[in-house]
A and B are shown apart, each in its own frame.
Chain A
């Protein structure tokens, strides 16, 4: 398994501002992902965070809105930029371990006013 620390756990932000979410893993992992869970909905993949190169974004998500950094195999950040109320969601960091199991951080609950 993997222990994933994600922070902040929650935040309330004003529209037009940006928030950076941090994800720290207790071991080196190759595959790290960021998901979004809108209220009452399932999980949607935002992007795959690639170590040492640009993230790979899913359809509907762009780098200008959700810039991602992955400086090493244990850490990643997701920034939600120029926020609007529609960005209010839970953002989740996840990692795929060597036995191909996916583990999640505790999530960041974001509310945009």
Chain B
């Protein structure tokens, strides 16, 4: 199956700083999504982005499908951005999403 690698595994930011999270995948994908798991465990869907660029407030994401990676940008980080960010993908002919190991983000005041 598709392999998903996320980096960095851990990230500590000062409030107000910007960050870039990366997701590499091993094969072509028909679905790629970014999730935020907050400290209480709830998973929130941030982006559905198998290709191209999207923005939602302070968050934006870019997927370069031909080069098999996706980036999640967080600008002007806030303490509420803390948690784990997961990238998940599925390949051609599949609906089942495979998750990366996540990036644990801690934003300190």
Contact = CB atoms under 8 A, between A and B. Distances in A.
Contact of A90 (B41, B48, B88, B97): B41
Nearest to A43: B99
Interface of B: 31, 33, 35, 41-43, 45, 48, 86, 88, 95-102
30 contacts: A1-B45, A31-B95, A33-B96, A33-B97, A41-B101, A42-B86, A42-B99, A42-B100, A43-B88, A44-B99, A48-B95, A48-B96, A58-B96, A90-B41, A92-B43, A96-B95, A99-B48, A100-B48, A101-B33, A101-B45, A102-B35, A102-B88, A104-B35, A104-B42, A104-B43, A104-B45, A106-B41, A107-B41, A107-B43, A109-B41
Interface residues of A, number: 22
Interface of A: 1, 31, 33, 41-45, 48, 58, 90, 92, 96, 99-104, 106-107, 109
B3 to A, nearest CB: 12
Given A101-B33, A101-B48, A102-B88, 4 more contacts: A41-B101, A43-B86, A58-B96, A99-B48
A106 B86 CA distance: 16
Contacts of B97: 33, 45, 102
A4 B99 CA distance: 20
